[in-house]
Amino acid sequence: MWYGRPRQISESIDALLADPTLGAVIDPDRIAVIGHSAGGYTALALVGGCADVDRVLAHCRQHPDDAGFCQQRIAGQRVAVPSVAIPDSRDPRIRAAVAMAPPGIFFDPVSLATVSVAVRIYAAEFDAVVPARYHAEPLRQAIKPTPEFVLVRGAGHYSFVEPFPEALRRQAGEGATDPPGFDRVLFQETLRRDIAEFLDRTLR
């Protein structure tokens, strides 16, 4: 996943720009990427963040309190380490990125200092999957130029996902759950508006 997702986005851009109908209406100078969680990782990899699996393993050994990420998603030493290094996935066609609750511990800080495009990072106050102090906050310090940073009060990791229809909420399980008192429907209205404003401003 960590190797393939950025490549899939770049190949999708290739296909869209080559399409005789869609390519004709896409401005190649105004391409952005938006992602949540592993998608947030993908967005940052596409603008220059280089992933380092050894860095993740070291983090999980040093911070067992990051249990939502290390135990559930990485499973300690049992993580599937790729047989080759994850390559630089930067796509120069992408001029802006929005990363919501990204697993930021993957990225080498040196690579983040060369990003150079507009980035907005969203973090959830009560994120139990990728706690902001270990994942989003370090990104704010490392990415250059300094990204816009939004800490969403009262939100959980999955609050960035569109609300599920009532008939699917039980099947969605954790993904449909927010911290007590958080209004996902109201937040999504604000999120959509704010992301559109960010992209209109940075891709002008």
Grade residue 114 by pLDDT with cuts at 50, 70 and 90: very high
Cis peptide before 28 (omega within 30 of 0): no
10 Cβ contact list (under 8 Å, min separation 6): 46, 89, 91
Cα–Cα nearest to 92, from 28, 42, 36, 23:
28
pTM score, whole prediction = 0.91
From 20-24, 72-76, 100-104, 197-201, the region with the lowest mean pLDDT: 72-76
For the chain, the first-to-last Cα distance in angstroms comes to: 32
The pLDDT assigned to 71 comes to 77
Domain hosting residue 159, numbered range: 4-18+25-202
Averaged pLDDT, 95-116: 95
Residue 133 has pLDDT above 70, yes or no: yes
- Pick 77 or 154 by higher pLDDT: 154
- Determine phi and psi for 199, rounding to 5 degrees: -70, -40
Within 37-118, residue ranges assigned H as helices are 38-46, 53-62, 67-69, 109-112
Angle of helix 38-46 relative to helix 4-18, nearest 10 degrees, comes to 70
User: Which CATH number characterizes residue 193's domain?
Assistant: 3.40.50.1820
Express each pLDDT in 16-63 by its tens digit.
999 999 999 999 999 999 999 999 999 999 999 999 888 888 999 999
Strand partners, 166: none
Q: What total of structural domains would you count in the chain?
A: 1
Taking the C-alpha atoms of residue 81 and residue 192, their distance in angstroms, rounded to an integer, is: 35
Cα–Cα nearest to 100, from 162, 142, 38, 46:
38
